[in-house]
Structure 1
Amino acid sequence: MTLTWEELVVDCQDFLAQGHWWADALGWQIVDEDEDSIELRNPDAPGPTLLFLTVLEGKTTKNRLHLDFVPDDQDAEVDRLVAMGASRIDIGQQKQSWVVLADPEGNEFCVLAAR
């Protein structure tokens, strides 16, 4: 048996706003958008897509799964994402080499130091 990772599904209250925010943040293409979902794909690499779906309940606790990103310039990328609507958050991390942010609906993600 072989498994292939197809997509990561993101539950949200406003799938259109979240999907468009992440498309802009990542520079990914919208490959499907309808009345129920929006799907994004990295135009430069094969791999799983991000699929945004609406759910009725809001986020209530720290994510058990989050995305990590490696930029060329961590400070510039954090500033860009915050200007787009992300927010710096404290989930109990101490002084680390990464910055924890939340997207407009509060989902955590990390911007790592450049490698």
Structure 2
Amino acid sequence: MTLQWEQVIVDATDPVALGRWWAEALGWVVVNDAADEYEIRPAPDRVPGLLFVPVPEKKSLKNRLHLDFRPDDQGAEVARLLALGARHTDIGQGEQSWVTLTDPEGNEFCVLGSRPV
């Protein structure tokens, strides 16, 4: 049996706005822009993607799953994401080499430093 990772589902109070934000943040393309299923992918025929679906409630607790990203330049990438609307957050990580941010709906993600050589 073989499994292919298709997508990560993201609950959102505004799937279109949050999906657009992540498309801009990641440089991905929109493959479905319906209000009830807004999907982005690295390219139209590449998976995994992110699928944003509507929920009535706002996020209230720390995510049980979050994404980590490793950019070429952590400082520049953090600055770019903050300019797009991300926010710094403290989820109890303490002083670390990575930066923990949230998207506009409060979902945590980390921007890692350079990979050790």
TM-score by length of 1: 0.94
Q: Secondary structure at the match of 1:31?
A: strand
Give 5+ residue unaligned stretches, structure 2.
none
**CA RMSD after TM alignment:** 1.5
- Counterpart of 1:95 in structure 2 is 95
1:10 alignment partner AA: V
Aligned amino acid, residue 14 of structure 2: D
Shift of 1:97: 0.8
The alpha carbon displacement at 1:2 in A equals: 2.1
- Runs of 4+ displaced beyond 3 Å: none
So what's the TM-score if we normalise by structure 2?
A: 0.93
Number of matched residues?
Answer: 115
Contact 2:31–2:44 (8 Å) recurs in 1: no
- For 1:35 and 1:48, the matched residues in 2 are separated by 20
The separation in 1 between residues aligned to 2:93 and 2:69, in whole angstroms, is 17
Quote the offset at 1:13 in angstroms.
Answer: 0.2
Gapped runs of 5+ residues in structure 1?
A: none
Counterparts of 1:113 and 1:22 in 2: how far apart (Å)? Answer: 20
**Identical positions, percent:** 59
State the 1:101 CA deviation.
0.1
Equivalent AA in structure 1 for residue 111 of structure 2:
V
> What's the counterpart of residue 37 of structure 2?
37
**What code does the residue aligned with 1:78 have?**
V
